[in-house]
Amino acid sequence: MPQIFLPLDEITHCQVCGSLKDLRLCSQCGEAAYCSTECQKSDWPTHKKTCKTDRIDLTSFHPVLALIAEAVRVSATGTQRALRHVIVNSPNPGTPAEALPDGTQARIVKLGDPISPEEFSENTFKWWPTAKSEAVRLKLFRRITREGNVLPICLATCLALMHALYSTTTPAAADSPEHRIRLRYKSSPIADFGIARGKIKVAPEDLLAYVLSDGTVIKAQSPDDHYWIYFRTQKGDEAMLDCNMFPFNLCLIGHTRPYVPESVSYVPELVPMCFKDGAAGGGSSAKLAKLASQSEDPGQFLVERARFSVLRNPDILAAFEGVEVRDGSISMIGDVMEAFPEFLATIAGRKITSEERDCLFSTWATGYNVINDAALKDDRWKKFPPRPQIGIETDPGDVKR
Ligand SMILES: [Zn+2]
Ligand SMILES: [Zn+2]
């Protein structure tokens, strides 16, 4: 039954004399504010018992969060309809978008006969015979594999982060090996994180729509129902992480090797991750700007419409007290279990599906284990590169539009 210990949100007053001026944080923990070295020194005999804190830099750590999303997708591979049916047309790179019955546009993928998972893994040629090349085929495969469940994956990642990091605090006994673990970004502690809801601007030919043999049209992941994770520091700096752009052919990727422990059997070497300084829509990094320049309006690449704090949500904090993780799965005590899917529905502003609900709980459990195994165990995070290696996976043989 973890209790979540919130980080300091704002520096309001010196915790010794109450002064409102010249306030600075304790540089070791980022959790105590003082007006002067005198006040800090006088508080030290008490504060030292709770000061010890590992402060993990988000710039170095965020690939672990991208691993969570990928671990979930890898285990669900093959559940997408488009991977269980043969592709009978040729949606190769360069194919224009076509009009859909609802007036929108997308690149059409026509699905034919079912294909079994065995046949599929044996020979992907059978899945899509008219692909321009094997590279093109596998690129589409990776896009489809990474479709869907954007919101439950984002929320579960936040919950796993709270669960693994923010349930730790320094106990009163100074000789205890337990210590507090907190995230920081640049020089300031993370004060809040949660879900941003909005839209992502995508070129019509980078959207997919599946047409079944009976003519039914099913649109792939929606660019208008998009979510990502925002972070805000105590100083007010912002950062965002979006690991769900890949299906839109916005293929920012990062190397996973430095983050994957040897015990993890299979995670791809490159996984989607877009980490950006600042809030969505402004101050884009060079890599993202380069990516965005391929779409119509770089300034409107991601448009935030609403945000929902997860870390500081009172209902979520209360519900956490009934949560347990046993043998890699989440169990709940009492009625708290419903608080999490209800929050999912609140963020989405709609009813959620049973698949989304299941995805929320399974991703949370996976995420909790990934953070512990990849980052916290044996202090692995201390060996992470200061910033990850990032690249862009373009369409095979594609030249700049
Ligand atoms: Zn003071
Ligand atoms: Zn301190």
Tens of pLDDT, residues 101-155: 999 999 999 999 999 888 888 888 999 999 999 999 999 999 999 999 999 999 9
Q: Give the environment of ion ligand 2: residues with CB less than 5 A.
A: 26, 28-29, 32, 51
Sorted by sequence, the CB contacts under 8 Å of residue 198 that are 6+ apart come out as 226, 227, 228, 280, 302, 303, 304, 305, 306
**Region 80-93 average pLDDT:** 92
pTM for the model: 0.91
Q: Which candidate, 44, 64, 38, places its Cα nearest to that of 243?
A: 64
Alpha helices in 184-321 (DSSP H): 286-292, 314-320
Residue 375 predicted with pLDDT over 70: yes
Amino acid code (one letter) for 350: R
Q: Which candidate, 377, 362, 399, places its Cα nearest to that of 155?
A: 362
Q: Which candidate, 86, 105, 204, 210, places its Cα nearest to that of 148?
A: 210
For the chain, the farthest-separated pair of C-alpha atoms sits apart, in whole angstroms, at 78
Query: What pLDDT was estimated at residue 400?
Result: 46
Query: What pLDDT was estimated at residue 159?
Result: 96
Q: How far is the CA of 177 from the centre of ligand 2 (A)?
A: 17
β-pairing verdict for 180-185 and 188-200 = antiparallel
Q: Which candidate, 304, 200, 292, places its Cα nearest to that of 247?
A: 200
Q: How far is the CA of 18 from the centre of ligand 2 (A)?
A: 17
DSSP for residue 376? I
Q: How far is the CA of 185 from the centre of ligand 1 (A)?
A: 26
Q: How far is the CA of 340 from the centre of ligand 1 (A)?
A: 41
Q: Which two tokens stand for residue 69?
A: 């999303």
Q: Which two tokens stand for residue 362?
A: 């399974």
Residue 171 predicted with pLDDT over 80: no
Ligand nearest to the CA of 32: 2
